Amino acid sequence: MTTQDQDRELLEQIRLLFNDRIPFNKVLGAVIDSLDYDHPKVRFEMRPELVGNFVRGNLHGGVISSVIDVTGGLAAFLGVQKRLSDEPLASKLERFGALGTIDLRVDYLRPGFGQWFEATGYVLRTGNKVAVTRIELHNDEDSLIAVGTGAYVVG
Amino acid sequence: MTTQDQDRELLEQIRLLFNDRIPFNKVLGAVIDSLDYDHPKVRFEMRPELVGNFVRGNLHGGVISSVIDVTGGLAAFLGVQKRLSDEPLASKLERFGALGTIDLRVDYLRPGFGQWFEATGYVLRTGNKVAVTRIELHNDEDSLIAVGTGAYVVG
Amino acid sequence: MTTQDQDRELLEQIRLLFNDRIPFNKVLGAVIDSLDYDHPKVRFEMRPELVGNFVRGNLHGGVISSVIDVTGGLAAFLGVQKRLSDEPLASKLERFGALGTIDLRVDYLRPGFGQWFEATGYVLRTGNKVAVTRIELHNDEDSLIAVGTGAYVVG
Amino acid sequence: MTTQDQDRELLEQIRLLFNDRIPFNKVLGAVIDSLDYDHPKVRFEMRPELVGNFVRGNLHGGVISSVIDVTGGLAAFLGVQKRLSDEPLASKLERFGALGTIDLRVDYLRPGFGQWFEATGYVLRTGNKVAVTRIELHNDEDSLIAVGTGAYVVG
């Protein structure tokens, strides 16, 4: 395979893993919207099960922190891939499985109203062991609902 | 109603709201285990949908942050109740509905393996506007899986 | 005084307070570089006392967190002023004195090397009680040394 | 040297480094009060330079975050030493120099009034690369002024 083919293969595998093989991602309905190395995006639709406040009908805080966490992890993984592109595919995928969140801060800025939501992640720093990423969650009207900052083990 | 009756009534209402009226809590299977004012507890069972890593079978990080968030909110609410016990019941319940997380930090310490998990919250500081709480999540073998610190609007 | 005069007077008073009346700001050598309402800036020079690692000669982590904290507070204060411009000057200044950090997260991205450093703050959300701000600390070569996110009581 | 002698020698060297060779620690007046492996303590006296609010005379938030950071780092270092006791002294000291804060959260609970303050750190988790620690800052009346949680690179 050429490097480009291998990249494409990797991204397809990641998409498959993320969307279909992580059970709680399916509960959230979270799917990869973009695997841009610098600004990956994860999207999900509002559904009645995702509500926190039944009177107001907005997203549960846990849905917000969950999506922020997985988007930050995706950004961390892609950030490392960008630096270490000569690994074989199998070990890259293994690295995705070994990725772990060290800690995460979430700031809840506005109630999560909307028909769908999109989280975008980006890397602040990638090291050999730890990556630090930030994540923004917008609703379908482009209001900033919440932001996060997370540290991830990547090595 | 005596104050004691009112307290009991409040706690029953809170239990009902938390367990049955917050849709995403039902997805998590999170139920109140104790409404002790100083150390409320929330419990949930492992279920296949809550898994993050399908190879290892441990909890998704988002399940962890979700339960930590709601337990911290519960601790914040109860901490305020302890101070403001002469409010009428209706306005206490309204206060529960108005509670909001400002921000939350979660530290993921060990993979979430277990048949059930319990989160315990406690208050670090309660003010008129903001409460700061901490939360610990243990598994059924009493291993500390994750901890959190959150700030909540309570006023 | 016209509103514009009053604004100018307020900003001069804030600058005086920040630079000269807060003892530990003087230890840090932290001075206001810009009172732009949306992106206030605080600047300080490297000095031998501010070093953490005596072998490498970079900034102490505490200098970084200190400057990030005060810059975030400044951004929170100015963000509120932008919304509440019709208060009398005295009560605006009182509000500056009453400002308090609820919590702060700092991410240390790169060692603090440089001859001078500049922190820039901006508001993520301003409410009546709480403001959430972010802060970036760059060195004299425009490298991003550290970032922060803080919640402040403003009411 | 016996292991016990080596331990004593290490702790003396750490104390010397911490108290005398880290310039900004001297500005803070922060000195090691205990090198207990599980609960190291750092102490400092109130001094006029450490004040934030000149009207009220309480500690600057940056003093609080600074002392919390260094105490958390100390706890992280000692936590690793406890696990890796067979390294030679020189490489242990090198490890102390290489220690770095990844991120830190500080919660400011009460104004910093007092004649002296003591911070105590403890480890939540020690890994080969990353340690997570918590820190509590009390004043001379044993009031809890602030708490922190930090992640440190230890590898």
| pLDDT tens for each residue of A102-155 | 999 999 999 999 999 999 999 999 998 999 999 999 999 999 999 999 999 997
Mutate to test the interface with B, among D108, D110, D125, D144 (most CBs of B within 10 A): D125
Q: How many CB pairs under 8 A join B and C?
A: 26
What pLDDT score was predicted for residue C84?
75
The Cα–Cα gap between A116 and B111 comes to 30
Q: Inform me whether the C-beta atom of residue D124 falls under 8 Å from chain B C-beta atoms.
A: yes
Q: How many CB pairs under 8 A join A and C?
A: 28
Nearest-Cα distance to chain A for C116, in Å, is 21
Question: Token pair for residue D74?
Answer: 């100390």
Note whether A149 contacts C124, CB cutoff 8 Å: no
Nearest-Cα distance to chain C for B132, in Å, is 9
Question: Token pair for residue B144?
Answer: 């500390």
**A68 contact residues in C (CB cutoff 8 A):** none
What pLDDT score was predicted for residue C11?
92
Which H helix or E strand runs over B153?
strand B144-153
Q: Inform me whether the C-beta atom of residue D135 falls under 8 Å from chain A C-beta atoms.
A: no
Task: Give yes or no for a contact between B116 and B54, defined as CB atoms under 8 angstroms apart.
Answer: no
Q: Inform me whether the C-beta atom of residue A102 falls under 8 Å from chain C C-beta atoms.
A: no
Q: Could you give the angle at the alpha carbon of C105 between the alpha carbons of C100 and C111, nearest 5°?
A: 120
**Segment D43-82, tens digit of pLDDT:** 999 999 999 988 889 999 999 999 999 999 999 999 998 8
Note whether D65 contacts C104, CB cutoff 8 Å: yes
The Cα–Cα gap between A71 and A80 comes to 14
What pLDDT score was predicted for residue C1?
65
Task: Give yes or no for a contact between A104 and C121, defined as CB atoms under 8 angstroms apart.
Answer: no
Q: What are residue B14's phi and psi, to 5 degrees?
A: -65, -45
User: Identity (one letter) of the amino acid at C1?
Assistant: M
- Antiparallel, parallel or unpaired: β A58-59 and C41-45: unpaired
Whether D1 shows a pLDDT value over 70: the answer reads no
Give the CA count within 13 Å in the CB-facing half-sphere of C109: 21
Nearest residue on chain C to B100, alpha-carbon basis: C130
DSSP bridge pairs for D29: none
Q: Inform me whether the C-beta atom of residue D38 falls under 8 Å from chain B C-beta atoms.
A: no
DSSP bridge pairs for D151: D103, D132
Note whether D125 contacts B105, CB cutoff 8 Å: no
What pLDDT score was predicted for residue D14?
94
Give residue C96's pLDDT band: very low, low, confident or very high (50, 70, 90).
confident
Q: Inform me whether the C-beta atom of residue D110 falls under 8 Å from chain B C-beta atoms.
A: yes
Over residues C10-39, the mean pLDDT reads 96
Note whether A151 contacts D103, CB cutoff 8 Å: yes
List the domains of chain D with CATH numbers.
3-153 (3.10.129.10)
Q: Tell me how far CA of residue C59 lies from CA of C47, C64, C71, D125, D135, in angstroms.
A: 9, 7, 17, 27, 21
Nearest residue on chain C to B103, alpha-carbon basis: C151
Note whether D103 contacts A129, CB cutoff 8 Å: no
Q: Could you give the angle at the alpha carbon of C150 between the alpha carbons of A99 and A35, nearest 5°?
A: 35
**Segment B104-126, tens digit of pLDDT:** 999 999 999 999 999 999 999 99
The helix/strand/coil state of C148 is strand
User: Identity (one letter) of the amino acid at A79?
Assistant: G
Look at residues A24, A60, A57, A19 and name the one whose alpha carbon lies nearest to residue A41: A19
D: neighbours with 3+ CB pairs under 8 Å?
A: A, B, C
Give residue B2's pLDDT band: very low, low, confident or very high (50, 70, 90).
confident
What pLDDT score was predicted for residue D85?
67
Note whether A129 contacts D130, CB cutoff 8 Å: yes
Look at residues C62, C65, C39 and name the one whose alpha carbon lies nearest to residue C49: C62
Mutate to test the interface with C, among A104, A123, A125 (most CBs of C within 10 A): A125
The Cα–Cα gap between A146 and A67 comes to 10
Note whether A102 contacts D151, CB cutoff 8 Å: yes
Give residue B94's pLDDT band: very low, low, confident or very high (50, 70, 90).
confident
What pLDDT score was predicted for residue C98?
85
Whether B155 shows a pLDDT value over 90: the answer reads no
Q: Inform me whether the C-beta atom of residue B109 falls under 8 Å from chain D C-beta atoms.
A: yes
Mutate to test the interface with A, among C103, C124, C130, C138 (most CBs of A within 10 A): C124
Over residues D88-103, the mean pLDDT reads 88
Give residue C111's pLDDT band: very low, low, confident or very high (50, 70, 90).
very high
What pLDDT score was predicted for residue B85?
67
The Cα–Cα gap between D35 and D41 comes to 7
- Hey, how many other C-beta atoms are within 10 angstroms of the C-beta on B6? 16
**Average pLDDT across chain C, whole number:** 94
What does the CA dihedral B48, B49, B50, B52 come to, rounded to 10 degrees? 90
The Cα–Cα gap between B57 and B79 comes to 35
Range in A64-73, C51-60, C84-93, C98-107 with the lowest mean pLDDT:
C84-93
Residue in the block written with tokens 């419990």: B43
Note whether B110 contacts D132, CB cutoff 8 Å: no
Note whether A63 contacts B24, CB cutoff 8 Å: yes
Alpha helices in chain B (DSSP H): 3-16, 23-28, 61-83, 89-98
Percent of chain B with pLDDT over 70: 99
The Cα–Cα gap between C138 and C119 comes to 6
Whether C124 shows a pLDDT value over 70: the answer reads yes
Q: What is the ipTM of this complex?
A: 0.95
**C125 contact residues in A (CB cutoff 8 A):** 107, 109-110
Q: Which of C48, C69, C105 sits opposite D62 (nearest CB)?
A: C69
Q: Inform me whether the C-beta atom of residue B39 falls under 8 Å from chain A C-beta atoms.
A: no
Q: Inform me whether the C-beta atom of residue C19 falls under 8 Å from chain D C-beta atoms.
A: no
Give residue C92's pLDDT band: very low, low, confident or very high (50, 70, 90).
confident
> What is the DSSP code string of A63-125?
HHHHHHHHHHHHHHHHHHHHH-TTS-HHHHHHHHHH-EEEEEEEEE-S---SSEEEEEEEEEE
Please give the residue that has the higher pLDDT: either D54 or D112: D112
What's this model's pTM, rounded to 2 decimal places? 0.96
**Segment A75-107, tens digit of pLDDT:** 999 999 888 767 788 888 888 888 999 999 999
